[in-house]
Amino acid sequence: MSFLAMFRLELRRLRVQPLAWVLLALSLAWLGWCFTRLLGDFLAGEIQRAALPDGPGYVDLVAVPLLGQLAQLAFLVVPLLAMSTLAGERRNGTLPLLFAAGLPASRIVLGKYAVLLLWLLAWLLLTLAMPLSLAHATTPDWGKLAAATLGIALMLAALAALAVAASTFTAHPAIAAAVALLLGLALWTVNLGAQMAGIDDGAINWLAMSTHEQNLLRGLVSTADILWFVLLIVVCLALATRRLAADKERG
């Protein structure tokens, strides 16, 4: 079985999962309400901002905060969506069938991760369509919006890889979701104590996901920030592949 066949199989499974559709509907409903509220606040303060030539614009006050709301939801949505990727296979006893089909561990992990990432990117695009629907009536900062979108996409990819890895190490989807949620929150807040102590440039700040994500949301695109997310994704997928390969060797 090829990677493409694994991708199609996992995509069909995701399409018939009620949880995926419920999460999509509920999250988009919440984000739609947030967009309406942000837009109302933006319009209410339009007269005051007219006197500030360099004041915040549509992207700063509507688009980026909306993407920030999506980032907050992602800590819950991604673990719930990914909890059954491999833990469910192990619990249902279908993982040996994938091994019997001749699939290496790397293709199983990458196939499931690719489908999960596809769903998350579609979620991001649907959210992004809300502020873009009114962009013609404003003068948006396209560079800042592109940087913020890149930051959210990298964050979703990293959380997805983390959730897939967590799902690989257990046979209970609920435990996988809880572990992925805790690890994601720990990565986000690992530098909280350092920030409270006034330390903003230490190694602990570099380890925190929030440090790199906030730079991108501010429109600052750095190779170091992008590499941090890429490194996290590679490490998580490598750990998941190694664990699955060990399971295959044990039979």
pTM: 0.92
Between CA 212 and CA 154 the distance in angstroms is 10
CA distances from 95 to 92, 138, 244 (A): 8, 52, 9
* 229, 156 contact by CB (below 8 A): no
Q: List, for residues 68-79, the tens digit of each pLDDT value.
A: 999 999 999 999
Look at residues 30, 43, 145 and name the one whose alpha carbon lies nearest to residue 77: 30
Provide the percentage of residues in the chain whose pLDDT is more than 90: 55
What pLDDT is attached to residue 198?
60
Instruction: Give, for 250, the enclosing helix (H) or strand (E).
Output: helix 223-250
Least confident of 31-40, 201-210, 229-238: 201-210
Decide which of 97 and 126 is more confident.
126
* 66, 148 contact by CB (below 8 A): no
Residue 194, helix vs strand vs coil: helix
Decide which of 199 and 93 is more confident.
93
Instruction: Find the DSSP H helices in 133-171.
Output: 142-168
Q: What is the mean pLDDT of the chain?
A: 88
Between CA 209 and CA 231 the distance in angstroms is 12
Query: pLDDT band at residue 199, thresholds of 50, 70 and 90?
Result: low
Residue with tokens 């890889």: 161
Q: List, for residues 165-189, the tens digit of each pLDDT value.
A: 999 998 899 999 999 999 999 999 8
Between CA 245 and CA 237 the distance in angstroms is 12
